[in-house]
Amino acid sequence: MAVSPSGPHVSSIAILSPTTTNGLGKSTITESFDKRKKSVLSPQPTQPADREITEQLNDNVKQKYIKEKKLGEGTYAVVFLGHLRTDPSSFVAIKKIKVNAEYKDGLSMDAIREVKYLQELSHPNIIALHDVFSSKDQNLNLVLEYLPRGDLEMLIRDTHIHYGAADVKSWMGMLARGVWFCHENFVLHRDIKPNNLLIAADGEVKLADFGLARSFADPYLNMTHQVITRWYRPPELLFGARQYSGAVDVWSMGMVFAELLLRVPFVAGNSDLDQISKICEAFGTPTEENWPGVTRLPNYIPADATHIALLQGREFFLRQFPTAGPVGADLLMSMCTLDPQKRNTAFGVLKHGWWSTEPKPTQKQDLPRKSGGTKKMGHDLTRRGGELEETPFKNATRQLDFNTARDY
Ligand code: AMP
């Protein structure tokens, strides 16, 4: 059992003061972020009495949990399994942020971002933040919803796992709902990729790792273009755009969709330059005609006149992704549009006709699981009418062998 989210108890740490919302329920996090960032990085002197109360509150939160074995390690955190002291069957994941040399108080920007945005966003497809406390070494600990079934990357890469169009539709639906909710609340995730999509015990996919997230409430604010893992990074960021929108996450979602279908990353560059040239090869060369303003982007590289590839149309997507069916291919194409202004939005993705075409999305409890967990029943696989190649990572033809005639 996982701990039920009762809203993060974060009053014990300066940055974690309750955030404000406007009358529409939209977050106004941008306004308060800079102020709070300052207060974290250069804490204001507190009165001894205040400090005592703060420490007491922090201890109360810390005492609620027992830390167990290490679950994994990322670049800026170590993640432990934990449980409620009062209920050993209520599991949590405790993410202990590593001390960052940049900030002597141990708080990195990634950690601040993660806490700040997870506090704001409560949705079934976004990992829940239950609590935050600091440990004696001044490390920040995030108490997160425990998601024991691994991530989408594990499922994609595991050649023993068979899945079909209905499963892809189910996973994509959960991803799209999570991203839509972020964008509704003016939050860009900026690192959507299969291994940031964690899976709950009941099969629900949850968007995790908000270390690169930020608010986009102000469209004129310059933002960094150095976000999003390269293979999932949209062309506008590769060209150095400083003002961008939810379209960056929609491109990443499109890349996840393509990868779920192919079981291999679709555009896998080995440098930023290689990434942009692979995008051009795959989808066509951006020009002023198909993407007005592209040539004015800071890192735009003029295309070699002899190598201008025409924009790919529906035929290409249908050919490359037959398992998505014509409507699915159309949805994918709308997510992989080069010009971010013409690219689909998360809301548009949710409204697309693909969700109501056959096959219906698999019920979350029937979705394939990572090896080592409870295996799916044999009839589930025959229902899909297809098997994967033994070595599915050779080329684009190693798509899932769905029964395409039936699985649209
Ligand atoms: P991260 O630093 O978020 O990439 O986490 C490192 C590793 O810890 C992940 O690859 C997972 O194996 C594991 N992990 C992270 N968060 C959770 C969670 N909420 N529940 C279970 N395992 C997790």
Domains of the chain: residue spans and CATH: 27-33+59-145 (3.30.200.20), 152-405 (1.10.510.10)
| C-alpha distances out from residue 320 to 50, 268, 270, 330, 387, Å | 62, 16, 22, 12, 19
Q: Rounded distance, CA 228 to CA 309, Å?
A: 25
Of 3, 67, 71, best ligand 1 pocket probe by most atoms within 8 Å of the beta carbon: 71
Ligand 1 atom nearest the C-alpha of 148 is 21
Catalytic residue IDs: 191
Q: 238 CA distance to ligand 1 centroid (A)?
A: 28
Ligand 1 atom nearest the C-alpha of 147 is 20
Kindly tell me the sign of the dihedral angle through the C-alpha atoms of 383, 371, 396, 262.
positive
Contact between residue 13 and residue 134 where contact means Cβ atoms under 8 Å apart: yes
pLDDT along the chain (408 residues), means of 10: 54 36 31 37 62 88 96 89 97 88 64 91 98 85 97 96 97 98 97 97 97 87 92 98 96 98 97 95 95 97 84 94 96 98 98 97 95 42 28 34 31
Ligand 1 atom nearest the C-alpha of 127 is 19
Q: 199 CA distance to ligand 1 centroid (A)?
A: 10
Which residues pair with residue 142 across a beta bridge?
Answer: 95, 132
Residues 150/152/154/157 CA torsion (nearest 10 deg): 170
pLDDT tens-digit series, residues 68-111: 999 999 878 899 999 999 999 999 999 998 776 555 555 678 88
pLDDT (0 to 100) of residue 105: 55
Instruction: List, as residue ranges, the binding site for ATP.
Output: 71-79, 95-96
Which residue has its alpha carbon closest to ligand 1 atom 15?
Answer: 79
pLDDT (0 to 100) of residue 18: 31
pLDDT tens-digit series, residues 279-314: 999 999 999 999 999 999 999 998 887 888 889 999
Q: Rounded distance, CA 359 to CA 323, Å?
A: 11
Which residue has its alpha carbon closest to ligand 1 atom 5?
Answer: 74
Rg (C-alpha) for the chain, rounded Å, is 22
Q: Rounded distance, CA 368 to CA 386, Å?
A: 14
Q: How does 257-288 read in b/e, with b if 16+ C-beta sit within 10 Å?
A: bbbbbbbbbbbebeebeebbbbbbebbbbbbe
List of residues 6+ apart from 73 with CB closer than 8 A:
79
Q: 111 CA distance to ligand 1 centroid (A)?
A: 14
Q: What is the DSSP letter of 220?
A: T
**Cis geometry, peptide bond prior to residue 368 (ω within 30 degrees of 0):** no
pLDDT (0 to 100) of residue 29: 30
Backbone phi, psi, residue 224, to 5°? -75, 145
